[in-house]
Amino acid sequence: MDSILIQGGRPLRGTLSVQGCKNALLPLMAAAAAIPGQTILTGCPPIRDETVTLALLEGLGVSTAAERDRLVLDASRDGGTAPDPTLAGQLRSSVLFLGALLGRYGHAGVPLPGGCVLGKRPLDLHLAGLEALGVQSFCDGGILHCKGRPRGGHYHLPYPSVGATENLILAALGAEEPVWITGAAREPEIEDLVNFLTASGARISGGGSSRVHIIPAPLHGTSYRVLPDRMEAATWLCAAACTGGSLTLTRLCPDHLRPVLRALRAAGCEITEGEASLRICAGDLHSPGSVRTAPYPGFPTDAQAPVMAALLRAEGITRFEETVFDDRFRHIPALQAMGARIACSGSAALVTGVRELHGARVAATDLRGAAAMVCAALGARGESEITQAWHLDRGYGNFVQRLRRLGAVALAR
């Protein structure tokens, strides 16, 4: 998808089932390379990052099959330990093959990862943790080489990095002795990875807490359903808020969205919760005060851009502070082109609500920034064109079709 044309001004209305979680699926797919058996994943979203990861797995000798929302990944036979550099360069999550291949084979050569450009995203924490567990590493020609099975022991993460936590868990599957990780990230996607690995025979406790304990154990194939995508759910909630619409979302966990729900409720949205559903009714909005991103259970950095879009017409001034990534305001110039009043300085942005937004031609910068531009365009007067819309394909399956199902006037081209 090269671009999206959106005719704004129509409230979104209807019901959607939330798709499987991109940030949960990709670690599970990488983990499948560490399991000498057949992995069946269901509830998988039809996204570009899934397609690229399937190609990476096939290059490592893993047999793959995809049908609708079901993936069959068979790594029964030993395979390669060096993912294709061209493919790996398209995904940040490709770095997780480092831990998966180390855990299985005791060595790996993984290209430096790609993905959205969000500022500095160093691998220092990944490597420091692996080296503390006895793994040797060096970089040569853009390839990160690691060798040696983790010997076991304890490592404390000085920052709760999601990727580092996942990589250390995957590497610890092949450790010689038990591994303790403290200071671990607590995101639901990590708990989902631990639940999947446990279903595959791993002995892991503490998933979703700051202290994870891994005892090496034989692994086997399993079937597993992917966690619902809290960031997709947050995006649809923000789209409804932008348009003054009413929307029901099913197949989700409201507890995973608690900070986003607090912000939208404080802005005047009426949100009703069910056991696995949410209904939002949006009207005139006002500033919720401030939004500050933080590791889970704080406000998620991935929801910052869509929520900012939702509050562009909210009465008053909303302060956004980004503490996770140092270049996550790249969507702001596009929102300003649509008439938003945003003053940005360093890690803070002040949004002063305006009466009306207008259509504009803008270029997507990253996955969540692109989602914010769509949300703003839906609530704007006139037509907008969002170019480089392929960013959306990375994390939102059948996005334009789902928009149109809710009453939006949208066209992909």
Residues annotated as part of the active site = 116
The DSSP secondary structure of 240-278, one letter per residue, reads HHHHT-EEEEES--GGGGHHHHHHHHHTT-EEEE-SSEE
Q: Which residues pair with 144 in a beta bridge?
A: 110, 139
Backbone angles phi, psi at 220, to 5 degrees: -145, 165
Phi, psi of 407 (to 5 degrees): 100, 0
Question: CA 229, CA 188: separation in Å to the nearest integer?
Answer: 10
Residue 102 to residue 148: CA distance in whole angstroms: 8
Pairing of strands 153-156, 348-352: unpaired
Question: In the sheet where 70-74 sits, what is the strand order?
Answer: 63-67, 70-74, 38-42, 222-225
Whether residue 178 has a cis bond before it, omega within 30° of 0: no
**Strand, coil or helix: what is 317?**
strand
The alpha carbon dihedral of 71, 88, 294, 209 has a sign of positive
CB neighbour list of residue 346: distance below 8 Å, 6 or more residues apart: none
Helix %, strand %, coil % of the chain (to 5): 35, 25, 40
